[in-house]
Amino acid sequence: MVHILCIGDVVGSAGCEFLRAHLPSLRKQKDIDLVIANGENSADGNGITPVSAQYLFDSGVDVITAGNHTFRRRESYDTFDSCETLIRPANFPMGAPGKGLCIVDMGRIQIAVINLLGTVYMESMQSPFDALDELLKTPELPKLCVVDFHAEATGEKRAFGYWADGRATAVFGTHTHVQTADECILPCGTGYITDVGMTGPIESVLGVKPELIIRKLRSKMPVRFENAPGPCRMDCILFTAEEKTGLCTAVERLSLR
């Protein structure tokens, strides 16, 4: 069996530090083979930088995925081009830095990781459904294949899960920063959760100081967001899969505090 841990959107330096403090022991406790974390908010103030990406890798993350804030920090562009295990949504337009698929060779097994962006209430991109079909035709794609679907609408996420069912090992949703309670194995063997949640400050609105979000929503004026202080949590989900079939056999939702 293969154990794959997927971690919800890591928010700022506080989220990065909390992950570093808790991931090593969790990895040992659960005998985890591969760790995937969404890092598109890992830099303070939004986006991802070479420094925040390296911090996550040094903390035990094997693959970093991204989302709609992928290219918020221009200094990360070269890193997306040069780092095989830092990926961005594959359905960005042609010419965007980086790529949306990586294959991690772990010796006895290989695991593919795909990153895609939803289009409902988000920016207009290539259909993630069509993009997945194209990526699944990649030559010598391993049977073990995990998809980070970074999307807003729960309906689009659920539909995408069923579209991938039986063709991907697991689909985990990111972006909303709120962990959902619908983890399951879909009828054809794909592990699924609508949103894995967030790694960052507990007393916050998506990692940001609540008063700033309230001001923004009430005034409709620009507000400079700041990450909230205080204790953090790490939301994640553990998929167990069978090597020969590439299908999911167990799903465990976790939230560490």
Above 90 in pLDDT, residue 19? yes
Percentage above 70 pLDDT, the chain: 100
Q: Which residues are catalytic?
A: 69
Average pLDDT of the segment spanning 169-198:
98
Q: What is the mean pLDDT of residues 151-177?
A: 98
Q: What is the pTM of this model?
A: 0.96
Here the tokens at position 167 are 């063709």
**Domain segments of the chain as ranges:** 2-256
pLDDT band of 156, cuts 50, 70, 90: very high
Rounded CA-CA distance 225/10 in Å is: 16
Grade residue 23 by pLDDT with cuts at 50, 70 and 90. Answer: very high
From residue 241, give the alpha-carbon distance in Å to each of 77, 90, 170, 244, 250. 33, 24, 9, 9, 7
What value does the mean pLDDT take over residues 30-59? 96
Residue 144 one-letter amino acid: L
Q: What fold, for 2-256?
A: Purple Acid Phosphatase; chain A, domain 2 (3.60.21)
Of the candidates 184, 130, 138, 148, the one whose C-alpha atom is nearest the C-alpha of residue 5 is 148
pLDDT in tens, 67-84: 999 999 999 999 999 999
Q: Is the pLDDT of residue 210 over 90?
A: yes
- With the CA atoms of 146, 130, 46 and 65 taken in that order, what torsion angle do they form, in degrees rounded to the nearest 10? 20
Distance CA 123, CA 101 (A): 20
Average pLDDT over residues 190-209: 96
The total number of residues shown for the chain amounts to 257
pLDDT of residue 108: 87
Q: Which two tokens stand for residue 85?
A: 């295990």
Q: What is the mean pLDDT of residues 185-207?
A: 97
Residue 251 reports pLDDT greater than 90:
yes
pLDDT tens-place string over residues 40-50:
999 998 899 99
* 147-169 per-residue burial string, b: 16 or more CB within 10 A, e: under 16: bbbbbbbeebbbebbebbbebbb
Please provide the average confidence, as pLDDT, over all residues in the chain: 96
